[in-house]
Every structure is written in C-alpha cells, then in structure tokens.
Structure 1
Amino acid sequence: MTIRPKYFTPNEVSIHNTAKDIWLSFLGKVYDLTPHVEANSGDPLLKPIIDAAGQDISHWFDPKTKDLKKFVDPNTGCLLYFAQHGRFSNVPPRFPSSDWANDFGKPWWKDEKYCIGVLSKKTRFIKIINALTLQNQIIEVCSEETMKEILNRYLKYNAHAESYTWKYDCTVLDMDKTLTENGIVDDDPDFYTLRMRDDQYLQSVILYYNDDLTEA
C-alpha cells in the first residue's frame, strides 16, 4: 500500500519562521530544519537559513540537478556552490580551510530525514457548512488532498466531523477522492480572467448529521 505524502500550503510553511521553529520549502517539498539549527546552534553559517525561515528557496537550486546552483570561480577556475545570500552551513569554503568540518554526511538539502511532506502546487479555499448548526467555515486546502484529508483539517472546528455525511450539490462525496475528482471544479482561473473576487463565490460542502456522534 502506497503511503500518501502529507501536503502543506505555503501559508502553513510561512508560520514556522523562527530559529526555534524553522521550515523551508524547495523543489516541491517541505523541510523542518529545526533539528539542524539546534544541532549547530551558534554557528554563524546558519544566518542565511534562519533569514529564509518560512519561505520557499527553490531559487537557490538547479531544478535539473536538484543541487545548489554552481558557478565557475573566475579566479581559480573551480566549480563552486553559488550561495547568493552568503555561505551557509554544509557549503564548503571557496578555498581549502583546516577549520571546516566535512564529516556531517549528507548536506541538509539532500538529507531526506528533514523532509516532512510536499508543498501544494495549488491551494483552494472552500466553504464547509454544518447543516445541523448552520455554522460555516472557510478553510484553505491543498488541491491534491482527498476529502478525508480535508476532513482532518476541519476537525479543529468540529471534532465530530466524521459523524456527518459530506455532500456537494446534493451528491454524497467520495472521501477517498479530491475535490476535483468529486466534481468540485476549481474556478480560480475563471475568477481571475473575469477579475472577480473568488472569496465571494466559494463552492460549499454541506455536512449532514448522521445521529451517531463519535466520542471526542
């Protein structure tokens, strides 16, 4: 059985923006570098990484090689990493140096132990209406997520969400399929073309109470 990756929105990544809680995204994946920063606390080479906390740094990389961008040093003719924001941890110095420890194994940008999921290629806002209480909630979701994963996002607003039947346009939704696969088309491109505010015309998923509330 294939395990689905965890999907994150750019907004979710952006809130982890301190030295004690630092996420980065690049090349379509999300990385939690908090352990790396903690293990190297006090190292001045962490500064460019901390400055980029919560951001996407795909522009640091060559999409073909999946490695940091490189350049030929005009003085030495050597191929070096291009650290446009200043040299950072695991990047070797331009010249041989006896104080640079290279026994760290894989550099952090190649070490999958820091990878915690996938950055959504397209997020969507959707309105969820509880037909029992008439409460509604607008949440941002990843277009790649199944309805079951969207339900998990919604649990913080309604801990009993699994005890409801989820419907759209009077049709019961397949919780193992995405919004699009359930026929809930992403209208964002049309709203953009028509210069309309998409937050005023969100598709609504209706929750119908099943009278079998699960335990909290």
Structure 2
Amino acid sequence: MTAVEETQQAEAEDFLVDKAKAVEVEVPDAPEEIGRSDYYTAKEVSMHNKPSDVWVSFLGNVYDLTSVVSSQSRELESDGSSLVFPLIKCAGTDISHWFDETTGDIKKYVDPIKNMMTYYIPQGRFVHVPPAEPVSDWDNSFEVPWWKDATLKVGKLSASTRSLRVKNVLTGHEHLMEVPCEETVGQIRARYLEYNAHAASYTWKALKPNEEKELVFQNLDMTLNLQDNGIADDQPTFEALGISSDFHTPVIHLYYDDDLTVA
C-alpha cells in the first residue's frame, strides 16, 4: 500500500468515526415514577358495598371494614340480629354523622329515661359498641374499636373532585376521568395507567395563556395539582350561576415522546 493510499484509508476511518459520533444520541433518564396518591373519591368508596367488601368513609378518612365484618358476622344481639348489619347497610357510604368531630368517637347523649351518658346509635348497635346495660356475654377482648384502629385505614377521602378529559394526540382516544382535587398531575398519570400502560412515554400539556396572554400548549408540572398548574376549577362558578358543572371540562393533551427507552 502506497503512502497516498494509507493516507486515504486513515482519512476514511476518521470520517466514519466522526460520522458515528455525530449520530450518537444521549439516552434520556427514565421519568420519575410517581405512584397513585392515597386519596379516594366518593365514587371509588361506593364501589365497595358488599358484605365481602365493606369500605366506609368518615371524618375525612377511608376504612376497609371487611375483616371486621368477617370476624364478627356471628355475633348477635339479644333479638337475634347481627351486630354487623349496620356496617353492611352503610357499606360504600360516608358515616361521618355517626361521630363526634372533636373526639373522633361515636356521638353520645344523655338517655332521658336512665339519665346516663350513652352512645347515640339510632342506626342500631354495631360491632364494638358496648350494650346499654351490663351483660355477662359481651366480648370486649378487642384492643381498640374499629373506628380507632389505624390499621384499617386505607386512605383519605377527597374533599372535592374534578372532571378531566385526557386526550391522546397520537391515537385520538379520549378518557373522561374524575380525580381528587388534591392529586398532582403525576398522580393523575398513575390513575391513567389503567387506560394506557405507557402513560409515562407522553408529555402532558394543556392550553394556557403565556406571558404574552396568548393561548399555547404548555408542559404541565407533574409535581403540582391542576389548580397550581393554572387549570382552574370552574365548577363552583358554574353552580353559582346555575350552569351544569359539565358545561366545560378541562382537557389535557398527551404528546407521544417517541422514546422507546421509556416505553
């Protein structure tokens, strides 16, 4: 090989190396995994309304009483009714009216006949509520009553919910979601995984005014909730004006990142 040929070959190799470097793409970091929040909507609680699946909410928290109902299903009152009946009857609902907000205990009142302080239970006596009079067969071996048992707590009840339309720009699919107002966009994305397992491969945007007051699609901060992202909740205004709350539903647009490393 002549000197000229060796020079040409070296130049060709250098060219190929430079070309390879030019097409090198830095692999982006995987998006931060954000799980679902511990907030539940009233609708989600209402789905647990069977004797084999008993959830209730009270004083802002959500409790799973399935184990309580299961373990106490054979305990009967003197008239033969089960102490779990009131719990099964209210399964899936909010029972905050049973409790004193100050003490967190069952409401009490002074019995006008016996002139004694006792539990106020118009719905009927239920599990862990002592009988009105001393009896010898009441099992009080439990350490704490179920309404004070933190191990039964599964989450918090959302103070209010928001309707949201999530539109996939790539596929054109839309999903109407009801989400807790407390959740961040990242936590809403975790809910959306039910519809799209690759939700993290999309950039979440919303149409918002920029500094020049022009409406443009802007990336959402996944660590902030909808309100803090500039997506106002207009439902109270609609209700005050007598307009249906679904007159306008905010829309979030999902733009595919075209990044197979994420999917």
CA distance in structure 2 between the aligned counterparts of 1:4 and 1:20, rounded to whole angstroms: 25
CA distance in structure 2 between the aligned counterparts of 1:36 and 1:60, rounded to whole angstroms: 17
User: Are 1:155 and 2:193 matched, yes or no?
Assistant: yes
| Superposition deviation, residue 74 in structure 1 | 2.3
| Superposition deviation, residue 148 in structure 1 | 1.0
Question: Given the superposition, is the C-alpha separation of residues 5 and 73 from structure 1 closer, same or farther in structure 2, using an over 3 Å criterion?
Answer: farther
Equivalent pair of 2:37/2:183 in contact (CA under 8 Å): no
User: Are 1:37 and 2:75 matched, yes or no?
Assistant: no
TM-score by length of 1: 0.95
Partner of 1:16: 48
Structure 1 gaps of 5+ residues are none
Partner of 1:190: 237
| Superposition deviation, residue 200 in structure 1 | 3.7
Question: Given the superposition, is the C-alpha separation of residues 5 and 209 from structure 1 closer, same or farther in structure 2, using an over 3 Å criterion?
Answer: closer
| Superposition deviation, residue 42 in structure 1 | 2.3
CA distance in structure 2 between the aligned counterparts of 1:206 and 1:5, rounded to whole angstroms: 22
Runs (4+) of structure 1 exceeding 4 A deviation are none
Query: What one-letter code is carried by the residue in structure 2 that aligns with 1:19?
Result: P
CA distance in structure 1 between the aligned counterparts of 2:185 and 2:233, rounded to whole angstroms: 15
CA distance in structure 1 between the aligned counterparts of 2:148 and 2:257, rounded to whole angstroms: 47
Partner of 1:177: 224
CA distance in structure 1 between the aligned counterparts of 2:36 and 2:188, rounded to whole angstroms: 14
| Superposition deviation, residue 206 in structure 1 | 0.5
TM-score by length of 2: 0.78
**1:101-158: per-residue Cα shift (whole Å, max 9, x none)?**
1111100001011100000001000000111011111100000001111001111111
Query: What one-letter code is carried by the residue in structure 1 that aligns with 2:58?
Result: F
Instruction: Report 1:63-82 matches (<5 A).
Output: 63-82=101-120
Partner of 2:98: 60
Structure 2 gaps of 5+ residues are 1-34, 76-81, 208-216
CA distance in structure 2 between the aligned counterparts of 1:150 and 1:160, rounded to whole angstroms: 14
Equivalent pair of 1:5/1:118 in contact (CA under 8 Å): no
Q: Which shifted more, 41-50 or 94-103?
A: 41-50
| Superposition deviation, residue 182 in structure 1 | 0.5
User: Highest Rg: 1 or 2?
Assistant: 2
Query: What one-letter code is carried by the residue in structure 2 that aligns with 1:211?
Result: D
User: Are 1:209 and 2:250 matched, yes or no?
Assistant: no
Residue 133 (structure 1) aligned to one of 171, 178, 183:
171
Q: CA RMSD in A?
A: 1.5
User: Are 1:25 and 2:57 matched, yes or no?
Assistant: yes
| Superposition deviation, residue 5 in structure 1 | 5.7
Secondary structure at 2:176 match in 1: strand
Equivalent pair of 2:36/2:191 in contact (CA under 8 Å): no
Secondary structure at 1:141 match in 2: strand
Partner of 2:24: none
Question: Given the superposition, is the C-alpha separation of residues 178 and 21 from structure 1 closer, same or farther in structure 2, using an over 3 Å criterion?
Answer: same
The number of residue pairs the alignment matches comes to 213
